[in-house]
Structure 1
Amino acid sequence: MRLDPSIVREIASEAGFDLVRFGPADPGEDADRFAAWLDSGRHGEMDYLARNADRIRDPARFAPGARSTIALAYDYSTPQATSVRGGGKVARYARGRDYHRFLGKATRRIRGELERAGAPVGSIKVGTDAVPILERALSLRAGIGFLAKSAGIIHPALGPYLLLSELVTPFELPWDEASPGSCGTCTRCLDACPTGAITAPFEVDARRCLSYTTIELRGSIPRELREPQGDWLFGCDVCLEVCPFTSKSTAQERPELATHPALERFPLVGILELGEEDWNEHWVGTAMRRATRSGLRRNAAVVLGNLRDERATPALCRALDDEDAIVREHAAWALGRIAPRTPELARRLGIEQEPRVVDELRASLARR
């Protein structure tokens, strides 16, 4: 069966996507680059990438008989990033509903329409950031945009704020040409990255990237990365904000990305003290759940420490007795920056059993 490209584009546009392109179902040379990236350890604790490396490199394992990719992109260049009350910035894509849900639903809707048009049921596989395929590589080969030095994708007109989704199909489709454009001599993203995570053009060490340390990392944020985190509570948009192509894009309001009620309900200190009940009641449906409650509270402690707002001292002192050692550790670090003379640090040191927390308490006391 051959799919009518014009019908596919019409269905995808009606589903809310801004770009629809067709390309091969083969990631090309990016498969080997991905393997080398894994071998270097730059994926950090994202062990699922290493476990599924062979499947990720070979789309035929994800979609047997794969021939063509329908690559989709959603422009999320909303007018501005969102900050919670009291400080703490949230990456633009996470300000509203979880895109994994609403884009996944939209992509599955396209698949359903194609099946109703005659495509065999089950022949088309859907990917929206949580499946074992090289989404960026497939999108680049389909002409969604060109490779940015930040390792993302830039569309010459829409800019770098793009969310990707794909349908991997067994059908022959007329492949689009590669997107024109390049970063040229620009190095703004490399120069602006607060942690030096963009180690060279087109190369990112996830272990240093705030989008990894504030979301994917389940343990302690390395000390040397806490101050550079600044006031980023969840994710980071710096490399996108400084990109010259951002100024060429037209910001738009997206109903799906309207500020989530939880971001308006909870101030930064409230996130530090976020309980399980509130987490499960108010934060459902937001991408910020990917950080876990522990991770988000950890991030809040770091941001409070960087903001150096003495009004946060009582909450940070209470956090020294939290049942979560990760929260205790980062609260101790924050107090070392805000109130190293508080007697609560010495009190907690006298009873603390977790070695990492003990080390942090001692380091903060040494700042007196």
Structure 2
Amino acid sequence: MDEPNLKQAIEDKAREIGFDAVGFAPVTLTEREGARLRQFVANGENGDMGWMGERLEHRSSPQGLWPDVKSVIVLGTNYGPDHDPLDDLEHKDRAAISVYARNRDYHDLVKKRLKQLARWLVETQPSEVKVFVDTAPVMEKPVAAKTGVGWQGKHTNLVSSEFGSWLFLGEVFTTLDLAPDTPHKDQCGSCTACQDICPTNAFPAPYQLDARRCISYLTIEHKGHIPEEFREAIGNRIYGCDDCLAVCPWNKFASRTKEDAFLPRAELTAPRLADFLDLDDAGFRALFTASPIKRIGRDRFLRNVLIGIGNSGDASVLPKVTPLLEDESELVRAMAVWAVEKLEQRSQS
């Protein structure tokens, strides 16, 4: 099979398996991408994510990770929501959970499909392959931006003219030599909506993110106490933040995901914050089995919930909060103190 026909066959197979977008990337990135990563780490903007400072030579390009790779196949899976996530922020007594985390962990489904595509590729075109889905030192957004799948927006995430901001990414590295796509043109233009909406001013400049100020980082990756300067801005966001994604004008072309595994579970569709306060470790694990939320653990989850409770202004939940002042976790106790103080101030005003 000649190279153009092989690329078409790969795309057809990928779509048959269930992927919504397919692109072909080169195995090297420009010095600009590598320099941006090194500066990000040097400035400490990666916060607790120390792993980002490791193996920088591997992260700098696909070839740095695997010297034998000749081509990268970028696969996108649509996880578009059925409503505007910004609407969830209006209901202060209910939890706003990032769209990607309202059901099963996307890594499982995407990786299964990547392996299916890789097996087919090896069987039909003798070659070596490796698959990745946010689990290795791959700068997947800069790599994807080298294809026709989309471009890296001012919020640093990938934007698609077909799916807006709602694409899960995965990659198949192969020793097959496939011509890369013409990169998609950056179509952010003069728009600054994603930067303007950020509650914590996490974007020091277009195309730059200071993770230490990002609500997604603070509620998911950050292991300790969330700095007080960010707590009120977090509002009712208890796991991640979709503001910069949801506000993107390109979402007008987005469509709701067809994957049942990405549709929100009933119990994670605007749940009451107060309903989480009784969770012990076993209850937390049972509720979030197969969910990405499970990985932050019960204590960090309740830390986030208590910040949401404190911001809710609903003093009627004080009787459910006060027992947590004596919780075994120091992290939970501290946020319970903060929440009680906030609610009492509200009730006295």
1:315 partnered with 2:317: no
SS at structure 1 position matched to 2:220 = coil
SS at match of 1:141: coil
Alignment of 1:178-327 (within 5 A): 178-260=183-265, 262-263=267-268, 267-327=272-332
Matched residues in 2 for 1:15 and 1:88: separation? 34
Is 1:5 paired with 2:7?
A: yes
Q: Residue type of the partner of 1:317?
A: T
Paired AA for residue 229 in structure 1: I
Instruction: Give yes or no for contact 1:78–1:253 (8 Å, CA) kept in 2.
Output: no
Shift of 1:85: 11
Q: What SS does the aligned partner of 2:244 have?
A: helix
Q: RCO (CA 8 Å, sep 6+): is it higher in 1 or 2?
A: 2
CA distance in 2, matches of 1:117, 1:87: 51
**Residue 301 and residue 139 in structure 1: after superposition, are their counterparts in 2 closer, same or farther (change >3 A)?**
same
Taking a change above 3 Å as real, the CA distance of residues 250 and 341 of structure 1, as seen in their structure-2 partners, is closer
Match of 2:109 among 102, 106, 113: 102
Count of paired positions: 342
Deviation at 1:77, TM superposition (A): 1.3
Structure 2 counterpart of 1:175: 180
Partner of 1:87: 94
Quick check: 1:273–1:297 contact (8 Å CA) kept in 2?
no
**TM superposition shift of 1:262:** 4.8
Conservation of the 8 A alpha-carbon contact between 1:195 and 1:228: yes
The separation in 1 between residues aligned to 2:186 and 2:143, in whole angstroms, is 17
RMSD: 2.3
CA positional deviation for 1:291: 2.4
SS of the counterpart of 2:72?
strand
CA distance in 1, matches of 2:56, 2:328: 36
In the alignment, which of 167, 171, 191 is matched to residue 162 of structure 1? 167
In the alignment, is the contact (CA less than 8 A) between 2:27 and 2:69 conserved in 1?
Answer: yes
Equivalent residues of 2:164, 2:251 under 8 A apart: yes
Q: Secondary structure at the match of 1:295?
A: helix
Q: Secondary structure at the match of 1:142?
A: coil
Aligned equivalent of 1:360: none
Distance in 1 (alpha carbons) for counterparts of 2:162 and 2:63: 32
2:119 alignment counterpart: 112
User: What is the aligned partner in structure 1 of residue 75 from structure 2?
Assistant: 72
Q: Distance in 2 between matches of 1:97 and 1:341?
A: 37
Question: What's the CA shift for 1:5?
Answer: 1.0
For 1:66, give the aligned amino acid: V
Contact 1:63/1:124 (8 A) holds in 2: no
Deviations 1:5-27 (A, max 9, x none): 12211221122111101110112
Measured in 2, the distance between the counterparts of 1:238 and 1:51 equals 29
Counterpart check, 1:40 vs 2:47: no
**Equivalent residue in structure 1 for 2:58, among 32, 36, 55:** 55
Q: Helix, strand or coil: the match of 1:199?
A: coil
Q: How many angstroms apart in 2 are the aligned matches of 1:272 and 1:54?
A: 44
Residue 140 of structure 1 aligns to which amino acid in structure 2?
A
- What TM-score do the two structures reach when normalised by structure 1? 0.87
8 Å contact from structure 2 (residues 92, 236) kept in 1: no
**1:296 counterpart SS class:** helix
Distance in 1 of aligned mates of 2:11 and 2:306:
46
- Give the superposition deviation at 1:311: 2.1
Pair 1:330 & 2:330 matched? no
Q: Among all aligned residue pairs of Structure 1 and Structure 2, give the percentage whose two residues are the same amino acid.
A: 30
Q: Which moved more, 1:101-110 or 1:261-270?
A: 261-270
In 1, Cα distance between the equivalents of 2:310 and 2:165?
A: 31
Letter matched to residue 137 of structure 2: P
Distance (Å, rounded) in 1 between the aligned partners of 2:105 and 2:220 = 14
Of stretches 185-194 and 49-58 in structure 1, the one that deviates more from structure 2 is 49-58
Q: Decide whether the 8 Å contact of 2:92 with 2:311 is kept in 1.
A: no
Q: Which runs of 5+ in 1 are unaligned?
A: 343-366
Letter in 1 for 2:150: G
1:18 aligns with 2:37: no
